[in-house]
Amino acid sequence: MRITKSSLIEQGHNDLYGMIATALSFFVFAYSSRFGQVSILVYYALWLPLVVVSYRRALGNYARYTWIFAFAVFACLSIFWSAAPSVSARAGVQYLSHVICALIAMRVLGVGTLARGAILGTGMALVYSLLFGVYFLDPLDGSYSFVGAFASKNQLGLYASLGLYFGFATIVLLGERRLKWLCLSALLAVIAAYCLFASQSATSVITTLAAIAIALAVHLLQFLRPSSRKTLFLVGGSIAVGGAIAFIYGGGADLVLGAFGKDSTLTGRTYLWQQGFEASLANPFFGIGYQAYWVQGFSEAERLWEEFYIGSRSGFHFHNTFIETVVETGAIGLFLLCMVLVVTLVGHLRRLLNHATDPDSAVLFGIAVLLAMRAFVEIDILTPYHVGTFLLYFSAGKLTETARVLRGQADYPVLRRVIYQAGKSPQVGT
């Protein structure tokens, strides 16, 4: 049987391969620690060979990706001052290669294909957890929570969040009306909602609801003229921010946390943040080295592992992307990573507020919002082979796509018809 190039690398023609590759990638991200190096090789095998099929299509002009690669390159360079050079070297190369795979996926996949593959991938991961998952006792608060087949309830909560979000995005933002995908999205939503409830992850519940609400609000703005969108967004955003501040300072945060059985210390996270801030003062500009803090034999890491009952002495972090980043890569690394996150968030928002209806940016903006909110309590975008890192760099890369690429997509016939009738493409580039 002959396999055409277009069935592998052309957006709109590679739906089958794209969905399978995305689903398997999500499953690998979920359980690479369980299945080991073989699963990572599968991930690389899904994306890197596409360079051989067509290096122009798979890679594109990397000069346009300088801002995207900046943090990954800096993480690799941290070996020169790292407290654990071998650890930083291995982790830095892994992170950089992971970013490259995400950008290859961005080049060859439409967002609709990504969303459908994500539905399959998160569904597989959650069903696997329901079949082979376990409950863990949290020694800090004495509660039992369902962690599935993941290493922590927060990772289970993240996949449940993604299941709910992509189900919502496929139906509402992308306008999917095919019965099989409507049924799969609804089924995944039910499974994800149960896993979210069972995990008892307050972080995941709050950020999921907030991300969906924000994505829906911005989606509704698409029915207005661009000038009206901006005005209403500024007014609504100001009211929402003001209300959130008043809610937090009025004690509302404690009420919400209390509903999940948490206290104002977020089960020890505020203490961890304090320890991380103090650790960052040792080398505030360059950090201790990428992933060079949580190393066995290092006194501070050993102390915190003991205080938080981490018997494995691995897989722990400061539960805050910004603090973890500044400890490992200093203020420079923090700036470079925040640049990717903020440019991605603002870039897709600008498209939605300034230009014609753009389903792609609507989906990717919601992803960026979810990752940005979780960054305050997790490190979803800081580690290799993590679904959050993959989605961030996929979303960032889509900002570099031109109107020509948008016109070539077959995912959204309504959008193509609008472009055709207008006689020219909307200016969707930044």
Q: What is the pLDDT of residues 23-69, one digit of tens each?
A: 999 999 999 989 999 999 999 999 999 999 988 888 888 788 999 99
Higher-confidence residue of 230 and 375: namely 375
pLDDT of residue 243: 80
Cβ atoms < 10 Å from Cβ of 122? 29
Q: Which of 155-164, 259-268, 408-417 has the lowest mean pLDDT?
A: 408-417
Residue 136 belongs to a domain: yes
Mean pLDDT of 395-423: 53
Using only C-alpha atoms, the chain has a radius of gyration, in whole angstroms, of: 21
Mean pLDDT of 232-250: 79
Residue 421's pLDDT band (cuts 50, 70, 90): very low
For residue 374, is pLDDT > 90?
A: yes
Residue 269's pLDDT band (cuts 50, 70, 90): confident
Residue 275 belongs to a domain: yes
| Spatial CB neighbours of 323, under 8 Å, sequence gap ≥ 6 | 273, 276, 277, 280
Higher-confidence residue of 201 and 378: namely 378
Residue 219 belongs to a domain: yes
C-alpha to C-alpha distance for 79 and 70, rounded to whole angstroms: 15
How far from 90 is each of 67, 69, 86, 108, CA to CA, in Å? 22, 17, 6, 27
Residue 46 belongs to a domain: yes
Residue 244 belongs to a domain: yes
Residue 1 belongs to a domain: no
Number of domains in the chain: 1
Residue 428 belongs to a domain: no
Residue 125 belongs to a domain: yes
Task: For the chain, report the end-to-end CA distance as a whole number of angstroms.
Answer: 42
Highest mean pLDDT among 5-9, 146-150, 244-248: 146-150
Q: For the segment 212-226, what is each residue's pLDDT rounded down to a tens digit?
A: 999 999 999 888 887
In this structure, what token pair is assigned to residue 393? 């760099």
- Domain span at residue 203 reads 7-422
Closest CA to 59 of 24, 12, 14, 9: 9
The answer to whether 292 and 87 have CB atoms below 8 angstroms apart is: yes
